[in-house]
Structure 1
Amino acid sequence: MPPKRERTVQGSCWPCKQRRVKCDLGKPLCQKCVSSGAKCCYDKLLIRWKKTPPTTQSLTMCQSPFMSLNIHLKDNTLAVGDLKALEYFQFAVWPLFTTAAHPCPPPIPLAMECQPVLLTVCELAEAHRTLRDETGSSTVNAPFDKRMSCLASVREQLRNNSNHTSLSPLLVAVFLLYFLDGFIECDHQSASTASHHVGVQAIVDHLGGFSALIKIGQKDITMLLSEFASTDLTKALLDDRAPCFPAEIWTQIEHGTVWWDQETYDGTTLASVFRIMAEMSLYRQQIRGDPETLSMEMVRDFERCLQPSYQILNCDHLKSPNTYTVHESTLESRMQADSFTRTFQHSALVYLYRAICGLPPRHYLVQQHVQSCVECIRNISPVSKAHNCIIFPLYIMGAHTFLQDQQAFVLDRLDSIYKYLRFNCVLLVRAALKDLWKSPRHDGDWWGMFRSLGEHVLVI
C-alpha cells in the first residue's frame, strides 16, 4: 500500500493544523495564514471560549482541564464561566506579565478564597480575551456592571477588614485592577489607573512597605510589586515627575521575585539600571526650578553607571579558557538578556542628555544612543518574551528618531508586540508616536514629546 500522506508538519501554527495544510513554520506569521487572512498563532495551548453556556451534561467534561490549575473542585460553587476565566488567566494572561520562561505560580488559589481577587481575575481575563478575539479594534468595552461589582467588592473588604491578613489578598486585587486599566482598558472612559495607583501605595504602606512585603516571600505579590514599581518609574520619567518610591527600593526588589530575567552576564542587572533612572528622575526635580545648579560631576556619575560595559580579558580567562566558554544552548539566551538590559541603559542615557542636560533631540550625544538602542532591539528576537517588554525603550527611541526607515522599524516592532500581548497601551504608544512625528513637538523639549500619551497608559 502507498505510504500514508502527511498533510501537517510538526510545530505548525493552529490555523494550518485546523485546515490540515502544510505550514511553512514562518514566524511571527506563516505565508499560508498571510495569504488566507487567518490569524496565525503558534501558542502551545489553544484556548477557546464558547459563546453559548455549556449544558449540564457537558459540565463534568468542562471541569476536567481545570485540574491543572491545582484547584480542588469538591464543594466548589464557582460558575463554569469563572473557571474558564481562571484557566485563561493562568495560561494566557499571567505569562504576559513576565519575561521568565517559567513564571511564578499565579494567584489562582487566592482567587478561589477571596471574592475581590476572583472578580478581578475574571474581569482581567474577559477584557484580554475580548481583545484577542478582535482583529485589532480597541473600542470594545467590558460590561460596566461587572466592573462595578469588582470595585464594590474591593471597597467592601477594605471597609470591613483592616488587619494584615486580609489586606494582602486585596493588594493583589488592586494590583490587577491597576494593570487592567493601565495595560488593557487604558483608552476606556472607565479607566482609573491613577486611583488604583494610590490604592496600591496605601495598602503597601499599611503592610509595612516594600521591605516587609519582600521579606514575606510571597512570589506573586513580589512579582507584581516589581512590575508596579517599574511602571511607576517609567510613567514618572515620561510625565516629568519624581517616582513615588525612593531609589533604594530597587536594591530590595532585586532580592525578591521580579518580572524580568534576573540572570546577568556582564555584572549589570536591570534593577541597578532602574535605580540609576530613579536617582536621575529625583535629581531632575531637584534642579528643575534652577537649571544653573546642574552639576557636571553628577552627570558624569550617571554616565559611568549607565554606560554599557563588556567583559575584558584577565588572567583567569587565560589559565582556564574552557571554564568561560559559552555553551551553544545558552548562547542565544545570553545575548538576548544582554541586549534587553542595554536597551534600558541607552534609553536612560537619552533621558539624561535630554531631560537633565537640556540637549536638543538631534544632538549627536542623543542620536548615538538612539542608534545603539536600535541595534540592541534588532538583536532581540521578535519571538522571545523579552521582546514584548521593551515598549518603553521603543517609545523613547521612536520619539527621538528622524529617519523614515527607523520610524518604520519602530512601528513594525510595536505591531509585532501587539499581536502577542493584545494590550491597548501598545496601540496608544503607536498612535502617540505617529502624532509626534507630524508635530513641532518632535524638535521640542523632553516633556512636550510625551504629552499626547493618555494619562491612564502604562509603559514598560
Structure 2
Amino acid sequence: MSTSKRQRITQGSCWCCKKRRVKCDLVRPTCGRCESTAQVCGYGAAPFKWVGGMALRGKNAPANAPEIYNFSPLITAAAATDTDSSGHGRASDVGPSSPAPPANANATGNNGNGNGNGNGHGHGTHDRRPSDATTVHDDIDLLSPAPTLSIVPSTPPLDESCLMPYFANAVLPRFLLGDGILAVDYAMIAKDESLQQAVLAISRAHYNYQAKCGANDSALVRNSSRQVAITSFRKRLQVGTSGDDSAKELFANNVLLCMLDGMIQPSTELNASSMHLKGGFAMLNRWSCTITNMLLEGGLQSHLLSVFVTMDLGSSLLTGRKPYFEPILFHMFANTQAWWGYLPTGDRFLTLLRTLNEMAALGAVVFAHLPSGDGAFLAEKCFPPLTAVLEAPLPVHSLDGIDYRNWVTFCALWEACSSIYFYRALEQRTVDDELVQAHARKGVSTLIDALLPGMLQHCLVLPMLVIGAHCIHSQDRKAIVDALSPTVSYLAFGNLPLMVDFLKGSWEKSDFHSTWWETFHDISDRVFLF
C-alpha cells in the first residue's frame, strides 16, 4: 500500500471551483465549469469580496471584527469621543483582513449612497458595544447623512479578474441616479479588447483613488493601464468598423475614456478630456446612425450616450462652445435608460436640460462677439420661451409623495443653475447683481433645507459649481463646501477635489465683474462636471 500523499485535482483550482468545493479541470484562462455556468474564472489573487451582508452578522460574525454592520451617524459620532481602550467603534479599525466594500455594498443597505437610517440598531442586529460607547451627545448633528465606509490605505490591489465586477458594481452605480445596477454584458466586453482595456483602466483608477494606495505605485499602475487602453483604442480605430454594432462599441469606448480622463482621473497637464470629446464628435459625424442605434438599444448603450451628451452640455456652458447635440435630443431619452434613470415624456428635468442646451447655444453667440454686445442683442430676441420655462409654476400635484418632493427639489437646484447662467452669460450681469444673488442664495437655501436621499445629493455637481462660484457670503460658501463633502467622499472622482480648489480660489479672488466665461476659465477645459 502506497503511503505517498494522494494528489488532489482541486489543488491550484480556480476561485469559483474552490468556493463551490468542486473539482476543477484547471483549464486556463477559463475552466470548463466556469465556462458552462458563465462565471468569471480566475487563478490569481483572492477575488474582491462584496461585504456587509449576513456573513458579518449574528453568530457568523468574526469574533474580533469591527462592527461595520451597525455603522450609523449616532454610533460614529459617539465612538469618536467615547471609544474604549480596545478601540471599538472606530472606522479605522477595518484592517487588511476585511475587504473594503464598494459604496453600493455598505452596511446601511442603502446602495452606497451614504444615507443611514440614523438608528444604531438597524436591521434587527444587536449592538455589542460597551454601553458607554453609545452615549449620544447634544452636539451631534442627527440630520447629517451616515458616512460611507471607505477603502482603507492598507487595502491590497485588485486582481484583474475582479476589475470587471468592480466596474459593474462600484463604478457604474456612481454614474446612475437611482438604486439600480445596470446589466453589463461581460462576454461582449471580453470580445472587444479595446473596450475591455478601457473598463479595466477605469476600474483600476477608481479603486486606487478610493483606496488611497501608495502614491508612486498607484500612479504608475494607473498611468500604465491608461496607456494600454488608449493604445488599444487607437489600434481599434485603425481597423475600422464592419457595421453599426462595432460603431456603437467604438463610441462607447470613447465615452469610457472621457469618463476616465475627464472625471475619475483627470490630467492636470493636458486637456485629454477635451480631445476625447472632440474625438467623439468626429465618430458621430462618421457614423451618423450611432445616436439613434444607441437610443433604441437602451441599457448600457443609451446610458453611456446620456453621459456623453451631458459632458457636451456642461463643457459648452463653461467654455462658450456651441453644443454639438440638438436640444430636442433630451426629450428622446424619455422612457429610456440614462444616467438620470427612466423619466416619462415631458418630465421637468428633461425640459430643463433641453432649455440649458438652448441657452448654451445662445451663450456661444454672445461669447463669439465679446467684448461687443452684438451677440447679446441677437440672443435677447430668443429670451421669451426660455424665461417661460424657468418661471413655469410647479405642477399641482408637486406636494404628493416624498419621492416626488425630492425630485422637485432636485430639479429646483438645476433650475437655479439655469437661471444664474441666463442672467450672467446671456444678460451679462455681474456676480454681485441683485437677480444673480437672489438665485444663488435661493439655491443655497434649497440645498440646506432639503436632505436629498441617495444619489440625488451626489448628482448636483454642476449646480453646486455654478451656485458656489456666485456665493459672496461666507456662510453660503461654507454651506456649499459642507454639501460637497459627502459627494467628494462617496463618488471618489478626481475631478471633485479640483472643483473644490477652484471654488476656494475663486472666492479668494472675489472678482465680481468678470464675465461668465472668465469666471470658469480655469476649470472649463480640464474636467467634466455634472
Shift of the 374–106 alpha-carbon distance from structure 1 to 2, 3 Å rule, reads: farther
Shift of the 129–304 alpha-carbon distance from structure 1 to 2, 3 Å rule, reads: same
Q: Deviations over 1:238-295 (max 9, x none)?
A: 1122112222222223353211134469x64322111111111212223442146246
Report the equivalent of 1:304: 388
Q: Deviations over 1:39-73 (max 9, x none)?
A: 898945269899779xxxxxxxxxxxxxxxxxxxx
- Count residues in correspondence: 410
Question: 2:253 matched to 1:173?
Answer: yes
Max Rg structure: 2
Question: 2:437 matched to 1:367?
Answer: yes
Q: Which moved more, 1:161-170 or 1:24-33?
A: 24-33
Cα separation, 2, equivalents of 1:393 and 1:28: 32
Three-state SS of the structure 2 residue aligned to 1:243 is coil
Instruction: Describe how 1:399-410 pairs up with structure 2 within 5 A.
Output: 399-410=469-480
For the Cα contact (< 8 Å) 1:339–1:379, is it kept in 2?
no
Instruction: Describe how 1:31-430 pairs up with structure 2 within 5 A.
Output: 31-32=78-79, 36=90, 38=92, 43=103, 45=105, 81-134=159-212, 141-143=219-221, 144-164=223-243, 165-189=245-269, 192-209=272-289, 211-263=291-343, 268-288=347-367, 289=369, 290-291=374-375, 293-294=377-378, 296-307=380-391, 309-312=393-396, 326=400, 331-381=401-451, 383-430=453-500
Cα separation, 1, equivalents of 2:514 and 2:202: 38
Q: TM-score, normalised by structure 2?
A: 0.69
For the Cα contact (< 8 Å) 1:264–1:337, is it kept in 2?
no
For the Cα contact (< 8 Å) 1:95–1:103, is it kept in 2?
yes
Report the equivalent of 2:72: 25
For the Cα contact (< 8 Å) 2:295–2:301, is it kept in 1?
no
Cα separation, 2, equivalents of 1:115 and 1:439: 47
For the Cα contact (< 8 Å) 1:141–1:188, is it kept in 2?
no
Structure 2 unmatched ranges of 5 or more: 1-55, 84-89, 95-100, 107-149
Structure 1 unmatched ranges of 5 or more: 1-8, 54-79, 314-323
Cα separation, 2, equivalents of 1:124 and 1:33: 34
Three-state SS of the structure 2 residue aligned to 1:248 is helix
- Specify the code of the residue in structure 1 equivalent to 2:170: A
- Specify the code of the residue in structure 1 equivalent to 2:486: S
Cα separation, 2, equivalents of 1:28 and 1:355: 47
Shift of the 341–135 alpha-carbon distance from structure 1 to 2, 3 Å rule, reads: farther
Q: TM-score, normalised by structure 1?
A: 0.79
- Specify the code of the residue in structure 1 equivalent to 2:254: V
- Specify the code of the residue in structure 2 equivalent to 1:119: Q
Question: 2:505 matched to 1:458?
Answer: no
RMSD, matched Cα: 3.6
For the Cα contact (< 8 Å) 2:294–2:302, is it kept in 1?
yes
Cα separation, 2, equivalents of 1:454 and 1:325: 37
- Specify the code of the residue in structure 2 equivalent to 1:310: L
- Specify the code of the residue in structure 2 equivalent to 1:161: G
Cα separation, 1, equivalents of 2:200 and 2:511: 41
Higher RCO (Cα < 8 Å, 6 or more apart): 1
Deviation at 1:378, TM superposition (A): 3.0
Q: Deviations over 1:210-244 (max 9, x none)?
A: 65224531421111111111111111111122112
Shift of the 371–262 alpha-carbon distance from structure 1 to 2, 3 Å rule, reads: farther
Q: Percent identity among equivalent residues?
A: 19
Cα separation, 1, equivalents of 2:511 and 2:217: 28
Three-state SS of the structure 1 residue aligned to 2:465 is helix
- Specify the code of the residue in structure 1 equivalent to 2:72: L
For the Cα contact (< 8 Å) 1:117–1:169, is it kept in 2?
yes
Among 428, 444, 458, the residue aligned to 2:514: 444
